[in-house]
Amino acid sequence: MTNTILNSANNIPQIQCDKIIDTKSNLNSELFKELMALLDLDSSIHDTSFNLIDERLLARRNGIAHGENRKRFPLDKEEYYDIHVRIVQIMDDLATQIKDSAINKSYRKASDNETDLVYEEPTEMSIPIG
């Protein structure tokens, strides 16, 4: 087993990850919650941002992208700045959640936490005979 691991150390696994997280081209609050659940992260700290995501950002983006009259989606410098600052804050908060999950290993299932692999020196009692 050890030789298998050591011999495969130079073989980097090829993982198809382009289908693991699919934003379906438009990240809305419902999809955001689904992705947070997939990562086992608490989305409730972002609840106050869902209107911003759905109405101020996504609705505007979709309307403009689909050729609707730009006058229906006015955006002055102050509002742009407010949206920008809040979206960057959401991204920073999300990055912190992901880092904390990695550091605390809270992403692991309970059964994973209970069975951490620890090397123990074999004793006479643990060595299989014949």
Higher pLDDT, 81 or 12: 81
Q: How many structural domains does the chain have? A: 1
Q: Which of 42, 38, 18, 29 is closest to 87 using CA atoms?
A: 29
- Does residue 127 lie in a domain region? no
pLDDT digits (tens, 9 = 90+) for 43-62: 999 999 999 888 888 888 88
- Does residue 104 lie in a domain region? yes
- Does residue 74 lie in a domain region? yes
- Does residue 64 lie in a domain region? yes
- Does residue 17 lie in a domain region? no
- Does residue 52 lie in a domain region? yes
- pLDDT at 86 exceeding the cut of 60: yes
100: domain range? 48-108
- Does residue 70 lie in a domain region? yes
Tokens of 52: 């911003």
- Does residue 9 lie in a domain region? no
